[in-house]
Chain A
């Protein structure tokens, strides 16, 4: 989230699209409701009428996967009716930038496409630069090659009729949605978006979110209270686990993983450090070498970063098609991996195409499964259609402490890092995960020290004891290391920081190895003042209280800034667009920033607002993505239509897929659109919640929701057990026949949609059913590799 949960109350219009927040993030609704009580309008766009819809002022149905049609249409509506917040758009976005001559767009394909590799040469999309290497601009927005005019041109195809025809949304609903949301494009109004996996789990997931980010920029809604782009993250620490980068493509603090073509630390830093020739651009990532050196020192404290850089493994490329989840399982199925850690995860149920994944687990030599309860991953060898006598995989199941039985921090969706204290002891002497990994790595280190082995230095030289006290994992010591400390006496701006002193904030990190910091984003979280995440003060200044900032409760990255991009909440003089709900303001006799921690302390107007961007502007046109600089409509890789109204290119041409796996496109065997979702009483694959009797009693079995029309078509009774099947597999589910799902009219044809929760698994409870991911396809977004589990094709039939 750019903003945070409490800030939702500051909004004038809340759009929930790609999320069912009332059921999946129930406490968020405390703040949504507060906004409504103060006059805000709540809009819910979803394939299904849910409890979120029931609380909304307006609900509009949409076929799963048609979001970019609706959002592209909204961009057109805003531009056609000149509803943009012009001052914001000109001063803070790249609307005025001139696009270079190589950019083209024809029939759904951007310039630079190579059909053989399904990739683009992104250099074709570059901005035109002046003689100093700064993007050329036309602040009148009249140049036909400026981003603003190019947007108009790109989205002129997204007419109301076309959007209605492909999305299935009713015409009147669509117009009302556009009118209501676009009304937030004034200086005193804020609109916000709450989205979740309903937007990300698509082959156009990144572009779904970019479309909305563009709308937010056009309406001046980013950086302000009650605005922003807000991903409702679904796990208590999925924000933190992402920040610490348990992902193939990034190292802690979103530093790119080293590549084979970066043989030296210097080359790695140069490749990752953007250069701006505009003195007004803060270009914050110019500090990259300080963060990378501090990370290396946190891992290998006794080595020079130029040496320890060689201890990090290098990838051949950053491609999701090479290393991300779906390919990982594809390679596992082909026998590439001998060992797997499934640590705090149940991939046998959580990943798309679950039957393939379960089969792949049988190709491993060994599997380490750390979890609280028995689950479908650790027990895969005795699952459906498995013959244990033919499965070689050695399995280790390590039980661990639960959250209330250990100490440490988690980061919520609003980036609040919150400390948890240990309550009870874990039963049977079970240990926290941190203890288990500390002890395991300690043993591996000892083996390499005693026996040697292949390239042992990264292991033997690892500063592993920096995270332990007397041989036991120490979360405080680890948190201090993540913040970072000085490794020698260091003078910065006339002040000497002693060796061992905590680094006050990332502005003090050094590129020469004199500081360590496990994650620069968390530098400022555990300082000489103590553990900032453990703070519980509700104190606020009157300005802060106006918007419920709570800066003294817990801690928030970066540097306790509660609302990101907040320099865009004020004009070039530092005056808030909306003085009633100021995030920051430049005021007082000595002229200083008050309110939130500003996005850089410079005087207003002296630096461009979007300091993390090389050029300093919000990116309406984004030439960095793999599938195009502007969001474009494509159908899901499994879909009920042969054509769509926007171009002759049916699918995202760069989408991640595997050629030997068929997809159902207008396949009469699989005529219905399927989607998956969650219920309040269960969580993810259900391993934790299926084992809690209170919750299981409330939601005991897998079900499939369908319209009355579809039930009649198939002759189903409400409550009947039916089979849901796709090209990949079949599961049984109890039919819920409901008015909350309606058939859509898509290009003149009736299209039915069904939906089912993915919380169940064969292992427990006995008659609970199995995972909905048995149905979902191994196809994914070309930028992130996230699987398209929210729109796929199925059949339903009598059991």
Chain B
């Protein structure tokens, strides 16, 4: 058996439990589904990718370790080769693994109908179709071709957009292109506030 620290701890814990409860017949054994992440970080079973921290704009480098079996993150840590952070991270950067592996992430697209007191699960396809329909209807109803002074303005004054500095550059560019081709002028995001 490949012994590492976690296995050692598990074995010790089992031994301790066996000692403490051995005579009580409680059948205490370690949970079978505990993932041994340290072992999974073996490059045979994982891939390493570099990324940049998603929090403040210092731009610290990170190394992400992803399981080839589950395609989920095993570990995220500071990139020692990155010239700015040289491997160091603050509390937020050091917690990024938990951003991805997190039970609080909803498991579906959600829709709340007017006057409803709850969200219901819907498919992405259904939601995007309905949003596209809303955008078209709202835009067509309220499009401003001419302003109060009689000048051509060709804009949408009844839809606004907020966001986002959380997007990648390529997404920011795509988003502004989408919004401006629709004719939106009320476009703002974190940089304003």
Q: B54 contacts which chain A residues (CB < 8 A)?
A: 236, 402-404, 410, 688
Instruction: Tell whether, in the assembled complex, residue A374 and residue B104 are in contact, meaning their CB atoms are under 8 Å apart.
Output: yes
Known: A235-B190, A404-B54, A455-B183. 13 other contacts (CB 8 A): A316-B147, A338-B159, A340-B161, A341-B179, A370-B163, A389-B115, A392-B115, A396-B131, A399-B105, A423-B66, A434-B170, A458-B154, A694-B91
Instruction: Tell whether, in the assembled complex, residue B64 and residue A404 are in contact, meaning their CB atoms are under 8 Å apart.
Output: yes
**B172 to nearest A CB, angstroms?**
4
Say whether A718 faces chain B, with CB atoms less than 8 Å apart: no
11 pairs, A vs B, C-beta closer than 8 Å: A236-B56, A313-B156, A339-B159, A343-B167, A344-B164, A344-B167, A396-B111, A402-B100, A424-B72, A443-B129, A691-B102
Instruction: Tell whether, in the assembled complex, residue A241 and residue B167 are in contact, meaning their CB atoms are under 8 Å apart.
Output: yes
Please, what's the 1-or-0 string for A677-688, where 1 marks a CB less than 8 Å from any CB in chain B?
000111110001
Which of A5, A243, A341, A464 is in CB contact (< 8 Å) with B161? A341
Bound CA–CA A437/B86 (angstroms):
35
Q: Do A522 and B169 form a contact, CB below 8 Å, given A247-B188, A413-B59, A785-B192?
A: yes
Bound CA–CA A370/B131 (angstroms):
12
Instruction: Tell whether, in the assembled complex, residue A680 and residue B172 are in contact, meaning their CB atoms are under 8 Å apart.
Output: no
Please, what's the 1-or-0 string for B11-39, where 1 marks a CB less than 8 Å from any CB in chain A?
00000000000000000000000000000
Closest residue on chain B to residue A351 by CB atoms:
B193
Instruction: Tell whether, in the assembled complex, residue B169 and residue A408 are in contact, meaning their CB atoms are under 8 Å apart.
Output: yes
Which of A251, A390, A424, A689 is in CB contact (< 8 Å) with B66? A424
Please, what's the 1-or-0 string for A57-94, where 1 marks a CB less than 8 Å from any CB in chain B?
00000000000000000000000000000000000000
Closest residue on chain B to residue A678 by CB atoms:
B56
B58-111 residues with Cβ-Cβ distance < 8 A to A are 58-62, 64-67, 71-73, 76, 81, 83-86, 88-93, 95-96, 98-100, 102, 104-111
Instruction: Tell whether, in the assembled complex, residue B183 and residue A313 are in contact, meaning their CB atoms are under 8 Å apart.
Output: yes
Instruction: Tell whether, in the assembled complex, residue A381 and residue B177 are in contact, meaning their CB atoms are under 8 Å apart.
Output: no
Q: B140 contacts which chain A residues (CB < 8 A)?
A: 453-454
Q: B81 contacts which chain A residues (CB < 8 A)?
A: 536, 538
Closest residue on chain A to residue B146 by CB atoms:
A260
Binds B, one of A24-32, A36-44, A95-103, A277-285: A24-32
Instruction: Tell whether, in the assembled complex, residue B147 and residue A260 are in contact, meaning their CB atoms are under 8 Å apart.
Output: yes
Bound CA–CA A391/B114 (angstroms):
7
Instruction: Tell whether, in the assembled complex, residue B134 and residue A680 are in contact, meaning their CB atoms are under 8 Å apart.
Output: no
Instruction: Tell whether, in the assembled complex, residue A342 and residue B49 are in contact, meaning their CB atoms are under 8 Å apart.
Output: no
Q: A245 contacts which chain B residues (CB < 8 A)?
A: 176
Bound CA–CA A120/B60 (angstroms):
43
**How many interface residues does B have (CB within 8 Å)?**
119
Say whether B117 faces chain A, with CB atoms less than 8 Å apart: yes
Instruction: Tell whether, in the assembled complex, residue B136 and residue A444 are in contact, meaning their CB atoms are under 8 Å apart.
Output: yes
Say whether A186 faces chain B, with CB atoms less than 8 Å apart: no
Closest residue on chain A to residue B106 by CB atoms:
A399
Which of B100, B119, B143, B153 is in CB contact (< 8 Å) with A404? B100
Instruction: Tell whether, in the assembled complex, residue B168 and residue A406 are in contact, meaning their CB atoms are under 8 Å apart.
Output: yes
Instruction: Tell whether, in the assembled complex, residue A236 and residue B166 are in contact, meaning their CB atoms are under 8 Å apart.
Output: yes
**A440 to nearest B CB, angstroms?**
5
Say whether A518 faces chain B, with CB atoms less than 8 Å apart: yes
Bound CA–CA A700/B136 (angstroms):
43
Binding site for A on B (CB under 8 A): 47, 49-62, 64-67, 71-73, 76, 81, 83-86, 88-93, 95-96, 98-100, 102, 104-117, 119, 124, 127-136, 138-143, 145, 147-149, 151-193
Instruction: Tell whether, in the assembled complex, residue B181 and residue A405 are in contact, meaning their CB atoms are under 8 Å apart.
Output: no
Closest residue on chain B to residue A390 by CB atoms:
B115
Bound CA–CA A200/B145 (angstroms):
36
Say whether A658 faces chain B, with CB atoms less than 8 Å apart: no
**A686 to nearest B CB, angstroms?**
11
Instruction: Tell whether, in the assembled complex, residue A398 and residue B164 are in contact, meaning their CB atoms are under 8 Å apart.
Output: no
Bound CA–CA A241/B188 (angstroms):
10
Instruction: Tell whether, in the assembled complex, residue B188 and residue A246 are in contact, meaning their CB atoms are under 8 Å apart.
Output: yes
Closest residue on chain A to residue B191 by CB atoms:
A242
Instruction: Tell whether, in the assembled complex, residue A260 and residue B188 are in contact, meaning their CB atoms are under 8 Å apart.
Output: no
Instruction: Tell whether, in the assembled complex, residue A434 and residue B174 are in contact, meaning their CB atoms are under 8 Å apart.
Output: yes
Instruction: Tell whether, in the assembled complex, residue B92 and residue A417 are in contact, meaning their CB atoms are under 8 Å apart.
Output: no
